[in-house]
Amino acid sequence: MTLPRHGVSLCSLYQARQRIAGQAVRTPLVRSPALSARFDAEILLKLETLQPTGAFKLRGATNMIAALIERHGRDALRAGVTTASTGNHGRAVAHAAAHLGVPAVICLSRLVPANKVVAIEVLGAEVRRVGRNQDEAFIEVARLVDEEGMTLIPPFDDALVAAGQGTIGLELMEDAPELDRVFVGLSGGGLLGGIGAAIKAIRPATRITGVSLSDGAAMWKSLQAGRPVEVEEVASLADSLGGGIGRDNRCTLALAREVMDEHFQVSEVAIAHAMVDILEHEKLLVEGAAAVGLAAIVEHKLDVRGQKVALILSGNGVALETFDRARALAGR
């Protein structure tokens, strides 16, 4: 069988599910009575906030490290693993590495909130603060790989990482096989691409809706240009949607282009309102990136009446001061 150019197949998704069993959990898909009534639709929430690390990233990181050990043996990772991250991926790599007995060094830019730094350090990984953005943090990652023999675990641009995230799509299709639409935050493309690959292989009629920040939407700009485009990274309530896609993107640009049906950008105000709404009505404290699906429906006045819609609540890594800022921005 020939793999697609991006390397993510239905077979690789099921292999990923086997590898991550026991580390990443199968998260609930729950109906929101409040949102369903508000939009006259069946609104379902995929609670990736319940992962042991608080976000979906654990799936991809675990799949890649486990696959490397499976293929090359544990000695191949003796020097350890490394990555750059906006926070959630670093925490996932630290968790997976500790569970599998592998050293880890996580490089973070100065934009990453302090609460995410602490969450990584408590898992036993070494944290290095490097640069003003994720691309600059990756300079130190490249040095660790070239000079110290560490193995890179990319935050998104790898078929193994994307397949790990795509196990969410398998679960969605099993729990709600007649989904009409799935809203997914779009940053590097691993989450949207993986979920989309699973769903399009099983139910092509389900629409995959990507949601990006209004500023700093690197993947969306790259899709429009047909090649990787660098954009200025800006601070956001949805900080985990920041960062570039890499100048030599090998996987997720092609994957997102293949599976995404439509795309919307959302403002900081819309994200703030959505974060507060989710806490008030669902009693869930979520980070900005987890609220962008709801933000898109509201800000763009999308008609989802009569549809079965899934929102991916991707993570809960929000500091209380960040949520307070969201409340102030929303005027609530």
Residues designated catalytic: 57, 314
Query: How far apart, in whole angstroms, are the C-alpha atoms of residue 265 and residue 299?
Result: 9
- Two structure tokens written together for 52: 């042991």
Of 35, 27, 31, 28, the closest CA to residue 277 belongs to 35
Write out the two tokens for 268. Answer: 């900081």
Cα separation, 127 vs 112, whole angstroms? 12
Q: Which residues contact 75 (CB under 8 A, 6 or more apart)?
A: none
Tokens found for residue 294? 């709801």
Across the beta sheet with 81-85, the strand order is 126-129, 104-108, 81-85, 151-152
CB atoms within 10 A of CB 295: 28
CA distances in angstroms from 4 to 1, 55, 311, listed in the order given: 10, 27, 27
DSSP H helical ranges for 42-189: 57-72, 88-100, 114-121, 134-148, 159-175
| Best CA proximity match to 19, nearest among 59, 60, 63 | 63
- Assess contact for 272 and 290: CB atoms under 8 A: no
